[in-house]
Copies of this chain bind each other. A is one copy, B any other.
Amino acid sequence: MTTSSDGTVEIREVGPRDGLQNEATLPVEQRVALIDALSGTGLQAIEAASFVHPLAIPPMAGSSEVMAQIDRAPGVRYRVLVPNERGAHDALAAGADEIEVVMSISETHNIKNIKMMPDESVEQIIGLAALARAASKPVEAILSTAFGCVFEGDVDPDRVAMYAKRVLDEAGVDTLSFGDTSGMATPRVVNELLDSLDAVGIAPDTVAMHFHNTRNTGLANILLCLQRGVRRFDASIGGLGGCPYSPGATGNVPTEDVVHMVNDLGYDTGIDLEALIAAGHFAEELIGRELPSQVLRAGPRTRTVAAD
């Protein structure tokens, strides 16, 4: 089994968008300050905002101002989620480096979340990808409920792979990511999805994985993915963002914890863990409560104390 280093792993920060959208609304200047704190840690990809209707997701109102005010760090890609054409135009006008579009594999979840059948979502993604391509910006398709749906239960991994192949082939998206929307991924489920992706010719080193830690399997899932060759993972500073389906439960895997383990395994993430921990404490100050990252509490395993 592979537990030693074989190269580079990209950890993509999602706190300023995916994390904050489930929190009380922060003022634009605080969102900007958080993004700027994160861009100084060595992170190379930050999900900075989404261009959704402000009445639908109030914490993301003012995303144009956020994008205008951030201090753009060299080498950092500022990624933006868009739900529709209007959002894509706004995001491109605001200077997004990459566009993210989303659909759920679960019919029930897709209808509840974006009021479309999955096949309609594929059509929409075709249009949005064309817009991004016309602006010479990469586009990523996020496939939600890829490891299970809180309404439907298990989601067939072959169905996930089928939609993954369709958005690659029909929409020509540049990258794919797979979302553990309701925290149902376990190493078994992840393994099965990677098998199904293999079967349609989608290699592990071309995809990104977005895990939640709702049932404490987040880092075990990432370990399994590393062993199978996945090299891109989403994570949220401090573990920002709860699980909307389980009150009190944890959402996204904490960036500090992911970087701590992945760095320790010998992979090159380019991220300075101590700087990241400082950013995590800053996020806690902004949010006004303790966040679930364990490394934020305990520090890295190299942190010793005096014997007396």
Roughly how many angstroms separate A195 CA and B201 CA in the complex, as a whole number?
Answer: 35
Cβ of A265 under 8 Å from chain B: yes
Write out the residue numbers on chain B whose beta carbons fall within 8 Å of the beta carbon of A306. Answer: 151
Chain A 190-220, CB-CB to B under 8 Å as 1, else 0, gives: 0100000000000000000000011111111
CB distance from A7 to the nearest CB of B (A): 16
Cβ-defined partner of A213 (8 Å) among B216, B264, B304: B216
Taking A151-B304, A248-B290 as given, write out 16 further A-B residue pairs in contact, using a Cβ cutoff of 8 Å, ordered by the A residue number.
A151-B305, A186-B264, A186-B265, A186-B301, A187-B264, A189-B264, A214-B298, A215-B260, A215-B294, A215-B300, A216-B260, A220-B222, A223-B223, A248-B297, A249-B297, A250-B298
Which residue of chain B lies nearest to A154 when distances are taken between CB atoms in the complex? B302
Given A186-B264, A265-B188, also A246-B216 (CB < 8 A): no
Q: Copies per complex? A: 2
Distance between Cα atoms of A189 and B264 in the complex (Å)? 9
The residues of A with any CB-CB pair to B shorter than 8 Å are 1, 3-4, 108, 112, 148-153, 183-184, 186-189, 191, 213-220, 222-224, 227-228, 243, 245-246, 248-250, 254, 257, 260-261, 264-266, 290, 293-295, 297-302, 304-307
**Which B residues are CB-close (under 8 A) to A216?**
213, 218-219, 254, 257, 260-261, 293-295
Query: Are A188 and B220 in contact, CB atoms less than 8 angstroms apart?
Result: no
* CB contact under 8 A between A245 and B305, given known A216-B213, A218-B216, A219-B220: yes
CA distance A305 to B213 in the complex (A): 19
In the bound complex, residues from chain B placing their C-beta under 8 Å from that of A222 are: 220
Please, how many angstroms separate the alpha-carbon atoms of A293 and B216 in the complex?
Answer: 8
**Cβ–Cβ < 8 Å partners of A213 in chain B:** 216, 294
How far does the alpha carbon of A257 sit from the alpha carbon of B244 in the complex, in Å? Answer: 20
A215 touches which of B148, B186, B257 (Cβ 8 Å): B257
CB pair A150 B305 closer than 8 Å: yes
6 contacts between A and B (CB under 8 A): A1-B227, A151-B305, A151-B306, A188-B264, A220-B222, A249-B298
Q: Which residues of B contact A150 (CB under 8 A)?
A: 304-305
Partner of A3, one of B188, B257, B266, B295: B188
A152: which B residues are within 8 A, CB to CB? 304
Q: Which residues does chain B contribute within 8 Å of A249, judged by CB atoms?
A: 294, 297-298
Q: Name A183's closest neighbour in chain B (CB-CB).
A: B298
Chain B neighbourhood of A214, CB < 8 A: 294, 298
Complex CA gap A60/B36 in Å reads 50
Closest to A109 in B: B307
Of A148, A189, A264, A294, chain B has the most CB atoms within 10 Å of the CB of A294
